[in-house]
Each structure stands twice: as structure tokens, then as C-alpha cells.
Structure 1
């Protein structure tokens, strides 16, 4: 009797193991979501082609991982819902923070970028406190700096993109002192800033610096370079929580790109400085 039970148990275990192996997905093709409107991370060229750092990274990742990648542009605020629903298998420019980790998972980072303010060069926020300093909102020094900035922006109007940690950070730290306006994309925030309908835009430093450089002196970066808190300053590939095998495949390819200097070269190409992960 005991022998029979043992044999039956072994057969059941073997069947479960086989079923698990059979159900494991063999990743050959992935659908990739990208905003296509957040230069120099990603943008849509006049000919309709997607370009930017994110595109260079994912194309290299897919080549090394031997994946066929179908890349689709879609508004940022619908990227995570589309990933969870299965429309995408991967999303680009995904920054992890505690709230997002409740819903999706993330690869290792491919660049690390702080956030800052973009303001009119002749406007009231052209010279915010702690200009150019690298600070964390989680340190005592950073908290003191945020208190100074809150006093400086009181009564003014700040803008950010929907479903971004930058907008959440503004609402969390300055929402009771300023008018906060939300937009579908960073480019739409920028349009209102350029038109004088906003006093400052809070965004990724790379985007902000790129727009300041292209403004012919009309815009400038102002205030500290901030990390910490709800801010998602690690730039990663977003995946579904249940797709651990895909995450491992992506991380292996990213590790190769990091170790041979490819991530550094791509960062220097698009940012003019190396913001690739170190260590």
C-alpha cells in the first residue's frame, strides 16, 4: 500500500513538473510599448520613425537576447494598463517606485537620472534655491531644501505629466502651496510653459536640459537635481510580475550592454554624458 502511494505520488509530481515546463513561455517575440514623445529618451521623427536612447537600448537588448521586438508608440498614461492587460510585454522608460511595484515589475536600470525644474529664463522661478546641487528628498539636507523651494514657488503654477512620479512628487511636496496642472505628455507641459501659462515644469533632468538648450535662452534649468521618495529616477524596462523568465532574459542582455560599455556609449550619444549604471 505504501509502495503504491509512493509510486502514485511520484507520477503525480512528474506530471506536475511536465505541466509546469510545458506551460513556461518560450520568449521569441515581444511587444514593446513606448511613448514616442519624450526626447531624447524617445521621440517620433518627421518620417514617423521612433528614435532616442530608449530605442537604441531596446534594439540592442532584443538583438543580444535573440528576440523579435515589435515596438508600438502609445500615450504614457496608458502604458502600464496596456502592459498588465497583455497588449505589451515590455514598456520603455519605466521608473520603479513603491506604487508602481505594486502593479508591475522592473528590469535592472539602463540609465539613472534625477529630476529638476524647467522655467522661463526671465520668470519668477529662474533661480530656485540650491540651484545645481544634487540632493535626495530623503535626507535632512534635502528636506530643508524642499521647504525653501516650497516657499519660493508659493502661489505659482507648476506642471507635470500624467501618471509620472514627477507629477506625484510635485503634488506631494508642493500641492498645498501652488496650482498643479497635469498634462498628457512632457511636450504638452512644455507648450504651456513656453506660452507663459506655467511658471515651471518639473521633469527628468535630461528632458529639461535638452529643452533648455533648444530654447535659444528662453528656458533654463532651475533648482536642485533631486532623487528620492516617490521619484522614479532609475530608468528600467517594465514587465508583468508573472513574467520572471522574460525579466531574466532582459537583465542578462542589459548586463552585457553595461559590461562592454554599450550603455555608456548610448548615454553619451543622446545625453552628452554618461548616466549609465555604475558598480
Structure 2
């Protein structure tokens, strides 16, 4: 005997099946979400091209892309928190968030307060001046009567304070303000991370005013061994998981794709 089904029955069955699929997918997502470890990530949001807010007030940049890749591979449920640079380490230690992924150099001073992952990029520090500047020598003696610009609470500020004690210094709150101060003549020369300022010099009209001066600076005492992800000293499990995730995105090509999005050369 043949079984005859009405169109209404067929449609009802299809809808039930579809509903079950939707419920199943939602359940899978819920289970997957439960498997993720929450991780609150501090970023400055004012350090292009590494981390910044776009025209839609959305976080973008190399740091953000790396963080998202690490969260996916390491099975973290990540939430970004925009934080003032000066407050980052104290608030990390105080438990406001779990990690800092904001181009933080791993200096000896910082290592006393926080733990760092393996480096996720390297960049030297360098002096930058306007192209019409007569400055060619960037030694402490030559810059003794100049106004040197640095960003607050950075390795560059510490380096300038210790090695250029007689040089007048103007401290800016953020990198964009530092660059503006150089372009408009508020300072004679600035000290900045080379990769951070590369895009401004190479790809903006304002940055066309200026050029690198002197050699690359890579003093480990002040600039550390590259940029790392900062964690609380006792956060051993998260440290191990992030290091493993970092190794994986470097091995599978994800890191290289992110690198190529921002720089025409490797920054590993």
C-alpha cells in the first residue's frame, strides 16, 4: 500500500525539521560559547596603525587583528576595553582586565610588574624631525638646546629622560598629538617607535613634512625585546595558552596575512 502525504503535512514536517536544525545550531553555539574562556583586553585605541578608532568608532589595527586571531585559535571570548596608556599596567594588576594587547614593549622595568608572552612583533625606536630641520646629529650633546617630544609613560620617554637629561622635553598624551606637535613646530624633534610612525610618514600628507634622523635604537634596557602581551604575574595558564596560539598563527600563515595588511615587510 502506498503512503500518501498531503502538501500541508509535508510543509509542516519541513518546518519542524528546520526548527530542529535552528534549535540544534543555537544549542551548538551555546555549548561552544561555554567552552570559551572570557578575556578582557585593554587597548589604547590611539596608536595607528596598531590600534585606533575608525570613522565608525570601531577598533581597527594590527594589534586588534592579532588579538582576534589569538582569541579564535586559543578559544577565548574576548572583549576589548579602551584604556588610557598610563593606567594600563596598574589596572591590569588590579584586575580591571586580563591582558594588554596594545604594542607594549617588554622592558625590564615592566617585567617586574607584569608577565609577558613571547614577542609578537619587533620595532626599533628612532628620532624624527622635519625635512627642513638643520638637525643631523642626534647625540645628547647635539640636542642639548633642542625641544624633544615624547609620548607619556612610554619607553621612549624613559630613554630620553635617562640619556638626554639636559634636553628640554615636551610630553604628549598620545602619538597623534606627538606627530602634530612635530608637524606644527611645537617641538624640534621627536623620539618614537619606528613602525608606529611609519604609516604617518609614508602615507599621510601631514607626515610628508618629516623624516627619520639618526640610527635605529634597540636598547633592550629601555625598549625590551619587542612587543608582547602583558598579563598578571600569576596568570600562568593564560600565558601558556596565548603563547601556544601565537605559535599557531605564525605557523599556519595567519600572522603573515595580518602583517601584509599593514606593512610591506615582515615585522616578526
| TM > 0.5 | yes
Counterpart of 2:95 in structure 1 is 86
Paired residues, what number? 230
- Structure 2: distance between partners of 1:220 and 1:210: 12
Query: CA offset at residue 269 of structure 1?
Result: 1.6
Residue from 81, 91, 105 that aligns with 1:95: 105
1:59-208 superposed matches below 5 A: 59-92=68-101, 93-125=103-135, 127-128=136-137, 149-176=139-166, 178-208=167-197
Q: Which string of whole-angstrom CA distances, capped at 9 and with x for unpartnered residues, describes residues 43-96 of structure 1?
A: 110100000000010000000011100001111111111111111100012211
* Worse-superposed segment, 201-210 or 61-70: 201-210
- Structure 1: distance between partners of 2:207 and 2:148: 22
Residue from 17, 28, 45 that aligns with 1:36: 45
* Worse-superposed segment, 248-257 or 27-36: 27-36
Please tell me whether residue 256 in structure 1 is matched to residue 266 in structure 2. no
1:226–1:216 distance in 2 versus 1, CA, 3 Å: closer
Q: Give the gaps of 5 or more residues in structure 2.
A: 1-34
1:233–1:117 distance in 2 versus 1, CA, 3 Å: farther
TM-score normalised by structure 2 residue count: 0.82
Query: CA offset at residue 260 of structure 1?
Result: 2.1
Q: Which string of whole-angstrom CA distances, capped at 9 and with x for unpartnered residues, describes residues 83-130 of structure 1?
A: 1111110001221111101110101111111000121111233x346x
- Structure 2: distance between partners of 1:194 and 1:233: 30
Counterpart of 2:12 in structure 1 is none
In angstroms, what is the RMSD of aligned CA positions?
Answer: 1.6
Query: CA offset at residue 225 of structure 1?
Result: 0.9
Native 8 Å contact 2:200 2:207 kept in 1:
no
- Structure 2: distance between partners of 1:110 and 1:185: 22
Secondary structure of the residue that 2:80 maps to in structure 1? strand
Query: CA offset at residue 232 of structure 1?
Result: 3.2
Secondary structure of the residue that 1:230 maps to in structure 2? helix
1:216–1:113 distance in 2 versus 1, CA, 3 Å: closer
Query: CA offset at residue 233 of structure 1?
Result: 5.0
- Structure 1: distance between partners of 2:253 and 2:55: 30
Native 8 Å contact 1:110 1:263 kept in 2:
no
Secondary structure of the residue that 1:152 maps to in structure 2? coil
1:216–1:100 distance in 2 versus 1, CA, 3 Å: closer
- Structure 2: distance between partners of 1:118 and 1:100: 25
Give the ranges of 4+ consecutive aligned residues of structure 1 lying more than 4 Å apart after TM superposition: none
